[in-house]
Structure 1
């Protein structure tokens, strides 16, 4: 299952370190860091050993180092240098991994193992989160039996059970990392597995488990992506009877997912978006809309260079206070949209580079509905979250997108020999 290169020990350890890092990504922020550091060091050693020019066919991935340089330049006009340097440090992989991949040729099977290890990490994280939720909910119910209810007090008992259920939905179900990042990992793994038929019990079990995980994480963005991805894959089916069956399953799946209690909570709160009185009684989805509103107002005030990577969040938090977005202000939320976040940090220049990366990615992955669904997962994820602010998002995007942008996609069936250039 691990990688082995007969002639290059550096590349062998490089890929195996990445595999272990992807296994640990769903399990926390700190666990994969040492293995990512090892892979970066060995990748740089491989560049020095090769002594050759990089592959010009893949020069478009240099947009990532350019994006990092633009972020670094914004330190010259930011006041909060400390926060800016922290973000820059977390973003260093955006500069290093694309450069490393310019000097490494890989075959599709080698890179696809990243998804296999990520899948294993997701399965492990599901059972860890499930165990934690069982323990927490059982504690509430046990406490209810002991102190809060009697045999005649059925209403209170149901209320206790409801509070126990809350540990199985949303943020409470993901104690290891942010649910948005877990949802992104799950969707990408699903896009890989759903392109093949569910011809084994193990494959079917994995897909069902991942769908259950998505349901419990209760990410609205993930639900939107899943619907679009399902429609694309359904249209890709040539057999009409099977296509009709898949549409029925899609409809039934929508009914199940829309009955998630967090989705109904989203409906009830977002409808009062324009009511200022309700701003201090918000949900994460409504808070996201308020973050977008405040971010757009700030962008209009400084469209050219933005506010610098150190000051962008500070300015945004002040804007929340000014607009009386109490919930956002108290929780110090970022823009909850990477394109808006980049615009706030680096202005139209950094925003232009980020958009260009995704335009090129869309062009590169338009060859099949499966590949395009992967693009949509990545693109829509950045619309709903500032993915390039936290370590889990930065590292993941700095590895996966450059590999997808290379001349031969990792989703392609074409094989390249494993040699360093």
Structure 2
């Protein structure tokens, strides 16, 4: 066991090898199950604490002070706790977000991994996402062949897991960013077969996003696709050719989308929605955001507390005749609005300051993976409360601090 760990995690003490083993396990499991992923991440935290106590980790700390900016994201949820009347109930909400504080704080003191190990962790996540896609498509094909039922869209496509399509789409978009940046950085060193593998992997992930039809994920994927072609065109001095390839890629992906009835229907919801079809998430968001905005204004932007925010939202859903919101007890499906509903303007201000500071650090240090990761976060939480679910908390708590470990790039 010890020798195997030494081969995978070289140049680290045994307890650090155990720490990285559980980090690897978390990365591998994360796309498949939100609950299971919490166990290896917790064990990684325990191993990390032991490493600090017995391997001199504290002495080698203070290498990435910006790591502590992630702790500010956790503090943004505390106003909702402090203004709550029932703080024991509010604590249940806040305690679930402790990963957002504990992980970056631990990573701040631990010795960063070397470049090779850092790349392995990111590539493992891409591998895990590709395996998820393979399993998902295989199950959909089986259901179609054996039962004659098409499950090649949205929730039906990921019904075998506990994950919501929006989160799967977010994970895959991050895997696309990792793969794209990795490809551009190492393009001159890659053999022809390796380049083909990268391009096939990217194509599979982009097509899966279309089939998944999580609309925000498709938007982020489109932004990533445009950036990749523009970046390649500028770097190679072939900007016009890059734009041509981009147009061809968009035409091809559009043709794939239009050829599938389920995809056409869901994309059509962006432009044609009505007051009857409650399955339309575009319409649902309209009612949720309207109700949240009314509640925020009536509370004078002071927040209502994390203990009663859902109850208050349900009251406003009822006033606006949004029965599904009442039955399902929806949150705001917008993290920015949810912060204000729970903790008022101080919560939103704290969150935005932390996010803006992280974006500033990522951009000026040329940590491009971190920068795009933060963009994915910023856009994804416009239509989902990603920090209100374990799927989002674990994803951001792990990869945010992890990407700060990336060495600043010297090249644009």
> 1:339, CA displacement in angstroms?
1.4
Mapped pair 1:378 → 2:377? yes
State the Cα distance separating 1:190 from its structure 2 match.
Answer: 0.8
1:339 is aligned to 2:336: yes
- Tell me the equivalent position of 2:255: 256
Q: Distance in 1 between matches of 2:302 and 2:52?
A: 34
Quote the Cα distance in structure 1 between the aligned partners of 2:129 and 2:33. 11
1:359 CA displacement: 1.0
Match of 1:173 among 150, 157, 161: 157
- Assess if the C-alpha contact under 8 Å between 1:266 and 1:285 holds in 2: no
The Cα of 1:302 is off from its aligned counterpart by 2.5
Q: What is the number of residues matched between the two proteins?
A: 386
Given the superposition, is the C-alpha separation of residues 182 and 80 from structure 1 closer, same or farther in structure 2, using an over 3 Å criterion? farther
Give the TM-score of the pair, scaled to structure 1: 0.81
- Cα deviation, residue 257, structure 1: 6.0
How far did residue 184 of structure 1 move? 1.1
Helix, strand or coil at the partner of 1:96: helix
Q: Aligned residue for 1:77? A: 83
Q: Once the 2 structures are TM-superposed, how far is the Cα of residue 286 of structure 1 from its aligned partner? A: 2.3
C-alpha distance in structure 1 between counterparts of 2:342 and 2:127, whole Å: 35
Q: Which of 319, 324, 329 is 2:321 aligned to? A: 324
Distance 1:220 1:212, change over 3 A: same
Distance 1:397 1:70 in 2: 15
1:262-277 equivalence runs, <5 A:
262=262, 264-266=264-266, 268-269=268-269, 271=271
**CA deviation after TM superposition for structure 1 residue 19, in Å:** 0.8
1:218 pairs with 2:213: yes
Separation of aligned partners in 2, 1:116 and 1:267: 31
Relative to structure 1, the CA distance from residue 369 to residue 100 in structure 2 (aligned partners, 3 Å threshold; closer, same or farther) is: closer
* 1:247–1:207 Cα change, 3 Å: closer
The 8 Å contact of residues 312 and 345 in structure 1, kept in 2 or not, is answered as yes
Partner deviation per Cα, 1:225-277 (whole Å, 9 max, x = no partner): 1122222222212332531332223331452365354554356545566x6xx
- Tell me the distance in 2 between the aligned counterparts of 1:66 and 1:255: 41
Query: Helix, strand or coil: the match of 2:36?
Result: coil
Question: Match for 1:116 among 94, 111, 123?
Answer: 123
Tell me which residue corresponds to 2:104: 98
Q: CA RMSD in A?
A: 2.9
The structural deviation recorded for 1:93 is 0.6
For 1:356 and 1:83, the matched residues in 2 are separated by 27
- 5+ residue gaps, structure 1, are 142-163, 415-421
SS at the partner of 2:385? Answer: coil
Q: Does 1:30 align with 2:16?
A: no
Quickly say closer, same or farther: Cα 1:267–1:242, change in 2 above 3 A.
Answer: closer
Alpha-carbon distance between aligned partners in 2 of 1:208 and 1:378, rounded to the nearest angstrom = 22
TM (normalized to structure 2)? 0.83
378-387 vs 306-315, which moves further = 306-315
For structure 1, which segment, 221-230 or 298-307, has the greater mean C-alpha deviation from structure 2 after superposition?
298-307
Matches within 5 A, 1:152-191: 164-165=149-150, 167-175=151-159, 176=161, 177-191=163-177
1:230 aligns with 2:257: no
- The structure whose RCO (Cα within 8 Å, separation 6+) is larger is 1
- Partners of 2:78 and 2:347 within 8 A in 1: no
Alpha-carbon separation, structure 1, partners of 2:277 and 2:87: 31
CA distance in 1, matches of 2:367, 2:60: 31
Instruction: Give the deviation of 1:310 after TM superposition.
Output: 2.5
**SS of equivalent to 2:388:** coil
